[in-house]
Amino acid sequence: MRHFTRSAVAAIAITAASFSFPALAADISGAGATFPYPIYAKWADAYKKETGVGLNYQSIGSGGGIKQIKAKTVTFGASDAPLKGEDLEATGLVQFPMVMGGIVPVVNIEGIEPGALVLDGATLADIFMGKITNWNDPAIAKLNPDAKLPDMAIAVVHRSDGSGTTFNFANYLAATNGEWKEKVGVNTALEWPVGIGAKGNEGVANNVAQTGGAIGYVEYAYAKQNKLIYTDLINKEGKKVEPTAASFQAAASNADWNSVPGYGVILGDQPGAESWPITAATWIVLYKKPDDATATAEALKFFSWAYAKGDDAAAELDYVAMPDSVVKSVEETWAKEIVDADGKALFPATN
């Protein structure tokens, strides 16, 4: 396992739903998850400077990314909700995890600092079901006996688009609240009982920042970059934990990545006293036999570069890089399964 350090978040302006560079013949195209947007943007900038090859990535949500790769309008799709083995097999796609991070509840309550409030999954689910509607509700007060909770209505903000962030958030709520599991469930798009919909992590972050009394959920880098107030959580072991790279790593430490086709391991609600309960991986999806072999080969070069040289940038943004053992397995999968029309591997075999 790699050793990870936590440092100050790097400054990346998140003002649009996509990033792009001047078009070149060799530029790489992708679309999908907003969860990894900050680190993909940082990697893309460094890779462009080093190689001259740009990345045109549309940060449109996991659902949109899967639709675009299946429609073959992009070289790769990106999703925080892994495709199942039968779907990968039926569509001729290959899937692999790129990086890990954490999803955090974020609030806009005057006088409350980051980490000053703590919530548990059952209470969080009741808020997003509309059963708890005020910040001084007894259930919230019981978890926060020393906090000065205002007599203020809660404004729920959720994703409006198909989202892997939603999938992982809902997975945590379903694991901790039986009513949520029965009535709302787990999916990339939900029939939300209450709240305002916003597109992308960007949209949720902006809506929470602009709405007094709001609560939403975003990837941790968005919370830090937008200076949003995040809450701590009670994990599966009943321990209060903070969202940090260390707590994300703790949740991922026991994952058996080869136990599920396409490395589709869900990291939410993992055991361990230090585990952040809404930890998530994000995946890349490619065709095993792409129509444009040259573009796919360029994409694999970028992903290999990110695995080899992107760890420090990931740590700066509080993401967690994939373990060396997983990277080795993924690159062996590339070498065996991703080929051109003549069956020639598009990525060199690893030693």
Q: What is the pLDDT of residues 79-111, one digit of tens each?
A: 999 999 999 999 999 999 999 999 999 999 999
Q: How far is CA 303 from CA 170, 283, 306, 323, 334, in A?
A: 29, 11, 5, 14, 11
Mean pLDDT of 207-217: 97
Q: Is the pLDDT confidence value at 22 over 70?
A: no
Q: What does the DSSP 8-state code read for residue 218?
A: E
Spatial CA neighbour of 242 closest among 282, 205, 275, 204: 275
Cα-flanking dihedrals φ and ψ of residue 48, to 5°? -60, -45
Gap between the Cα atoms of 220 and 212, Å rounded: 20
Residue predicted with more confidence, 13 or 215: 215
* Crossing angle for the helix pair 164-176 and 121-128, to the nearest 10 degrees: 120
Mean pLDDT of 240-268: 92
Q: Is the pLDDT confidence value at 184 over 90?
A: yes
Cα-flanking dihedrals φ and ψ of residue 156, to 5°? -80, 130
Cβ atoms of 1 and 323 closer than 8 Å: yes
Tokens, residue 297: 């080969």
Q: Is the pLDDT confidence value at 15 over 90?
A: no
Gap between the Cα atoms of 303 and 76, Å rounded: 11
Q: Is the pLDDT confidence value at 12 over 60?
A: no
At residue 3 the predicted structure's pLDDT band, cuts being 50, 70 and 90, is very low
pLDDT above 70 covers a percentage of the chain that reads 92
Q: For position 256, what pLDDT does the model report?
A: 87
Spatial CA neighbour of 36 closest among 84, 78, 95: 78
At residue 27 the predicted structure's pLDDT band, cuts being 50, 70 and 90, is confident
Q: List the alpha helices (DSSP H) in the chain.
A: 37-51, 62-70, 85-91, 121-128, 138-143, 164-176, 178-183, 200-210, 220-225, 245-252, 293-309, 311-316, 324-337
Q: For position 277, what pLDDT does the model report?
A: 96
At residue 26 the predicted structure's pLDDT band, cuts being 50, 70 and 90, is low
Q: For position 351, what pLDDT does the model report?
A: 40
Q: Is the pLDDT confidence value at 70 over 60?
A: yes
At residue 21 the predicted structure's pLDDT band, cuts being 50, 70 and 90, is very low
Q: Is the pLDDT confidence value at 17 over 60?
A: no
3-state secondary structure of 312: helix
Cβ atoms of 74 and 55 closer than 8 Å: no
Q: For position 348, what pLDDT does the model report?
A: 83
Q: For position 254, what pLDDT does the model report?
A: 78
User: How do residues 291-332 score in pLDDT, each as one tens digit?
Assistant: 999 999 999 999 999 999 999 999 999 899 999 999 999 999
Cβ atoms of 161 and 64 closer than 8 Å: yes
State the chain's mean pLDDT as an integer. Answer: 90
pTM of the model as a whole: 0.85
CB atoms within 10 A of CB 3: 7
User: How do residues 103-162 score in pLDDT, each as one tens digit?
Assistant: 999 999 999 999 999 999 999 999 999 999 999 999 999 999 999 999 999 999 999 998
Q: How far is CA 347 from CA 187, 299, 302, in A?
A: 33, 10, 11
- One-letter amino acid at 248 equals F
Q: How many residues does the chain have?
A: 351
Mean pLDDT of 227-237: 96
Q: For position 62, what pLDDT does the model report?
A: 94
Spell out the long-range contacts of 46-50 with Cβ–Cβ below 8 A and sequence spacing 24 or more: 46/309, 46/310, 46/313, 47/302, 47/305, 47/306, 48/21, 50/305
In the chain the domains, ranked by start, together with CATH numbers, are 18-100+261-266+275-337 (3.40.190.10), 103-251 (3.40.190.10)
Q: Is the pLDDT confidence value at 2 over 60?
A: no
Gap between the Cα atoms of 1 and 224, Å rounded: 26
Tokens, residue 301: 């070069």
Tokens, residue 258: 């080869």
Q: For position 5, what pLDDT does the model report?
A: 34
Q: Is the pLDDT confidence value at 19 over 90?
A: no
Q: For position 225, what pLDDT does the model report?
A: 85
